[in-house]
């Protein structure tokens, strides 16, 4: 899968300023289909609704530190939908540089992590790394 302006993207970030900044970054990068929410439950509903109309979310950026469940728990809930069409790549956004958070994310299946604050260039590089690398 390659990066495309038509890619369906979901941003789940509870801090309004961060959500607006990241959404602006994505729009400046040319992405046209960016949905966002500050609530994990609403994010899960967006994922489910996208599946119902056969337009699955392809990229999910999710904050680690949220309530009522964190970004890793959100990832698990999306995986638990057990729908073969839902094959989104995830980026965990976190202000934490604690090794335990990063190890837990990786062991759960989230391989892509961006530590806040991050630049648009860092986001671009992460997306290229995720979507453009050739299969070994």
> What's the pLDDT at 136?
40
Does residue 92 sit within a domain?
yes
Q: Which is nearest to 57 in space by CA: 80, 83, 76, 38? A: 83
Q: Residue 89 and residue 61: Cα distance in Å, rounded?
A: 9
Domain residue limits at 71: 8-128
Residue 135 lies in a domain: no
Count of CB atoms situated within 10 Å of the CB of 95: 14
Q: Does 3 reside within a domain?
A: no
Q: Please report the pLDDT score of residue 1 as a whole number.
A: 64
The continuous run of DSSP H or E covering 54 comes out as none
Does 73 map to a domain? Answer: yes
For the domain that residue 116 is a member of, what is the CATH number?
Answer: 3.40.50.2300
Count of H-run helices and E-run strands, the chain: 5, 5
Q: What Å distances lie between residue 11 and 19, 72, 89, 103, CA to CA?
A: 7, 14, 12, 22
pTM: 0.93
pLDDT of residue 133: 64
What does the pLDDT read at residue 79? 94
- Residue 1, in any domain of the structure: no
The DSSP call for residue 134 is P
- Mean pLDDT, consecutive 10-residue stretches, the chain (136 aa), reads 86 97 96 97 97 95 95 96 90 91 93 95 94 60
27 burial class (0-12, 13-18, 19+ CB within 10 angstroms)? exposed
Predicted confidence at residue 4, as pLDDT, reads: 84
Instruction: Give the count of domains, the chain.
Output: 1
Q: Is residue 18 part of a domain?
A: yes
In a domain, 2, yes or no: no
Whether residue 94 is contained in a domain is answered as: yes
């Amino acid at each position: 899968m390659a990066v495309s302006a038509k890619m369906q993207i979901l941003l789940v970030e509870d801090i309004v300023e961060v959500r607006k900044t990241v959404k602006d970054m994505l729009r400046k990068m040319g992405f046209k289909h960016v949905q966002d929410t500050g609530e994990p439950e609403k994010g899960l509903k967006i994922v489910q609704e996208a599946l119902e109309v056969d337009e699955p979310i392809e990229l999910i950026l999710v904050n680690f530190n949220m309530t009522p469940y964190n970004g890793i728990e959100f990832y698990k809930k999306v995986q638990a939908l057990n729908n073969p069409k839902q094959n989104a790549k995830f980026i965990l956004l976190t202000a934490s540089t604690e090794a335990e958070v990063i190890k837990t994310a990786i062991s759960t299946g989230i391989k892509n992590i961006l530590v806040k604050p991050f630049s648009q260039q860092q986001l671009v590089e992460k997306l290229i790394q995720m979507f453009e690398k050739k299969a070994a």
